[in-house]
């Protein structure tokens, strides 16, 4: 469908790139959604991104087998908080029995959307017939999606796709199978399973998916900056964006994208003080949610993402990667702040007070 044909009147569509976007029953002020990221999208990550402009987020991807068993760790993942709304959940699976059991478990939860993952390219997932493996069998994907749509306690059901297994030739056809099943929106990553996260995003293929279906198409892949976000809109005509790796260590990306789309100007980048403050807040939430030992382990990778690109940062990052206590992490956040504050940034002195 051409970008000028009727999107204003259709739920889930956007009138302009900078306009409101309706996702289920939720009105978003910008067409931006935070992606579910395995091992990343816990409450602290979602909360810090919400502070800087994210309005809709997803839990981490959850296997329907694990959810149907109801283990303590899995149920902790689906725990909801009043300040963490609106919130969607993403499930992964291929066995109808466990999908139905998982959906039954979710009857006690008030998620705003339920997404089915048919995009994960990791070997351990596709080896079990899940994730991107379903792209090889669109009729099976269609049946699973119909099962979910018919039995989900969450009315707004979506699907996450890739362009195909090793070619994008059938991307539009796969999307039509998904739409036929009754999903309300389609997330599409602009790479094939074979590409994983390498190579370039195929904007043309996403545009063909957009033309092939009537439901909203939410594009992802290399939304790493405001400029790339606008390029995705311009090249594909998509209805919204799913921000994934671009938000790692950069919760400001939502503000930056919105500013650029609305004004054409770049937002002020975060200062070293901004980054240090965000790190400290993020880390404190990790410790509060997961206790000290797990919180430290979970946060170390975030420290590396927050500090990427700073000159002479390697020794400091090495110390963080080996840290085991909260005091160590706090110390290295302070070292970063003191070293890269405006009065010292760019100093030739590369010896950190470690």
Residue 54 annotated to the active site: no
C-beta of residue 203 within 8 angstroms of C-beta of residue 236: yes
3-state secondary structure of 180: helix
Q: Which of 120, 238, 286, 322 is catalytic?
A: 120
Residue 243 corresponds to which tokens in the numbers above? 């921000």
CA distances (Å), origin 136, targets 63, 167, 178, 199: 20, 11, 13, 21
Give dist(CA 229, CA 235) in Å, integer.
10
Residue whose C-alpha is closest to residue 131's, from 179, 123, 103, 195: 123
Give dist(CA 280, CA 273) in Å, integer.
11
Work out the angle between the directed axes of helices 138-151 and 171-180 (0-180°, nearest 10): 30
Give dist(CA 47, CA 69) in Å, integer.
28
Give dist(CA 134, CA 201) in Å, integer.
20
Residue 29 corresponds to which tokens in the numbers above? 């002020």
C-beta of residue 174 within 8 angstroms of C-beta of residue 161: yes
What residues are labeled active site?
Answer: 120
């Amino acid at each position: 469908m051409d970008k000028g044909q009727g999107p204003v009147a259709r739920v889930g569509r956007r009138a302009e790139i900078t306009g409101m976007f309706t996702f289920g029953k939720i009105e978003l002020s910008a067409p931006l959604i935070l992606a579910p990221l395995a091992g990343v999208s816990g409450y602290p990550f979602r909360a810090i991104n919400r502070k800087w402009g994210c309005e809709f987020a997803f839990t981490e991807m959850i296997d329907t087998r694990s959810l149907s068993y109801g283990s303590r760790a899995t149920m902790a993942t689906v725990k909801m908080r009043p300040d963490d709304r609106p919130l969607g959940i993403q499930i992964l699976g291929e066995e109808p029995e466990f999908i139905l059991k998982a959906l039954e478990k979710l009857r006690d939860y008030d998620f705003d959307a339920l997404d089915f993952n048919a995009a994960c390219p990791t070997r351990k997932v596709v080896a079990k017939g899940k994730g991107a493996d379903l792209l090889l069998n669109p009729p099976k994907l269609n049946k699973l999606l119909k099962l979910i749509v018919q039995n989900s306690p969450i009315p707004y059901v979506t699907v996450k796709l890739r362009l195909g297994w090793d070619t994008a030739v059938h991307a539009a056809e796969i999307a039509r199978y998904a739409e036929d099943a009754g999903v309300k929106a389609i997330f599409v990553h602009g790479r094939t399973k074979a590409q994983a996260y390498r190579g370039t995003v195929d904007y043309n293929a996403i545009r063909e998916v957009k033309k092939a279906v009537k439901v909203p198409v939410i594009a992802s892949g290399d939304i790493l900056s405001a400029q790339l976000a606008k390029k995705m809109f311009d090249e594909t005509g998509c209805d919204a964006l799913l921000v994934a790796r671009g938000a790692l260590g950069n919760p400001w990306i939502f503000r930056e994208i919105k500013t650029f789309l609305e004004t054409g100007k770049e937002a002020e980048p975060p200062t070293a003080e901004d980054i240090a403050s965000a790190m400290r807040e993020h880390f404190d939430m990790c410790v509060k949610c997961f206790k000290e030992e797990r919180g430290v382990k979970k946060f170390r990778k975030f420290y590396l993402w927050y500090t990427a690109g700073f000159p002479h940062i390697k020794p400091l990052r090495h110390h963080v990667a080996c840290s085991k206590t909260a005091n160590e992490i706090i110390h290295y956040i302070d070292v970063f702040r003191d070293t890269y504050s405006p009065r010292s940034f760019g100093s030739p002195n590369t010896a950190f007070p470690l």
